[in-house]
Amino acid sequence: MTVLTFQNITLTPAKVDDQIWLTSAELARALGYAEVDGVTKTYNRKADEFTDSMTALVDNPKMKNAKIRIFSLRGCHLVAMFSRTTVAKEFRKWVLDILDKEVGIQTTAADRTPLRQAISALVGAKRIGYDVAYSMVHQRFGVKHIDELTPSQLNAAIEYVHSLTLDTQNEHNALWRLIGILEHERISNELNKLQNILSAADAQLRRIRASRGLIYDGFSEQRIKSHNPRLLQEAKNFINRQHEMKRL
C-alpha cells in the first residue's frame, strides 16, 4: 500500500480500481479539521457538485455493516476548494502539483481493456507469444507492467500496438497479392504453351490431310494404266463429291 505524506501527516490511501482514494477521516486530518466529520459536513453542503468519479461509499473494513465515504484525487481537490482551513490552499497545490507527480495518475483495469484486446490481435496476426507482445510494450514505454502506464501513455501504447498489427496485415495482404500475380503468370504461361501445342497439332493435321491428298493422287498416277478408265473416273468423281461435302 502506498503511503503519502502531507506536512508531516501520513496518509494511507485506499485503492479502488487501481486508483488512489482517501477516506473522509484521512482527508479531514490532512486539511486540519478539528472534527473527524468535518469533511463529511463540507461534502454534504456541496454534494450536488461531486460526481461518482470523485466520491463513493464503500464498506468499512473496520466495522461490519458500516460504510465510509472516500474521495478520489479530484474529489479531494474539490473538498479542499470548499474548505476554509489554513492548509486548504497548500493541500490543493499538493494534490495537483505533488501528488500527481509523485504517484502519477494511474489507469484502471477497464481503461487497459482496449490495450489488452489490441495485444491479443497482435499475437494472432504475428503468431507470437503474449509474453513477447507485452515485452514489446514494456520496452517501448519503459515500464515493467501495463498498469504503470499513464493515461497518455496508454493511448500511445494502443496506437503503437495497432500500428504493429496493421503492418503485419499489410504484409500479409501484400504476400497474397504477390501469390496471385505469380499464379496468374504461371497459368498464362501454361495456356500459351497449350495454345502453341494446339497450333502445332493443327498445322500437323493440315500437313497430314495434304499428304493424304497426294497419296490419293499417287495411287491414281500409279494405277491409271492398269485400271478401267470408267472405274477410274467414278473413283475420282466420288473423291470430288467427298471434298465438296466437306466444304459444305
Question: Residue-wise over 212-223: b if at least 16 C-beta within 10 A, else e?
Answer: eeeeeeeeeeee
Nearest to residue 160, comparing CAs of 140, 188, 135? 140
Q: Cell numbers 470430288 label which residue?
A: 240
- Domain ranges within the chain, ordered by starting residue: 4-103, 108-215
N-to-C CA span, the chain: 103
Residues 157-183 pLDDT 10s: 998 998 888 876 566 566 666 666 677
* Range ranked top by mean pLDDT from 42-51, 159-168, 185-194: 42-51
Nearest Cα residue to 141 out of 126, 124, 116, 158? 158
pLDDT of residue 130 exceeding 90:
yes
pLDDT for the residue numbered 31? 93
pLDDT at 99 over 60: no
Q: What is the pLDDT of residue 236?
A: 81
212: confidence class by pLDDT, cuts 50, 70, 90:
low
Looking at residue 174, its pLDDT comes to 60
Residues 13, 21: Cα–Cα separation, whole Å: 5
* pLDDT for residue 24: 92
> How many Å apart are CA 56 and CA 84, to the nearest integer?
23
Cβ pair 21, 72 in contact under 8 A: yes
Q: What is the mean pLDDT of residues 136-163?
A: 86
- 11 vs 99 pLDDT, higher one: 11
Q: Domain 4-103 carries which CATH code?
A: 3.10.260
Name the helix (H) or strand (E) containing 201: helix 151-223
Claim: this prediction has a pTM higher than 0.75: no
Mean pLDDT, to the nearest integer, of 128-151? Answer: 88
- Mean pLDDT of all residues in the chain? 81
36 or 106, greater pLDDT: 36
DSSP per position, 55-105:
EEEEE-TTSTT-EEEEEEHHHHHHHHHH--STTHHHHHHIIIIIIHHHH--
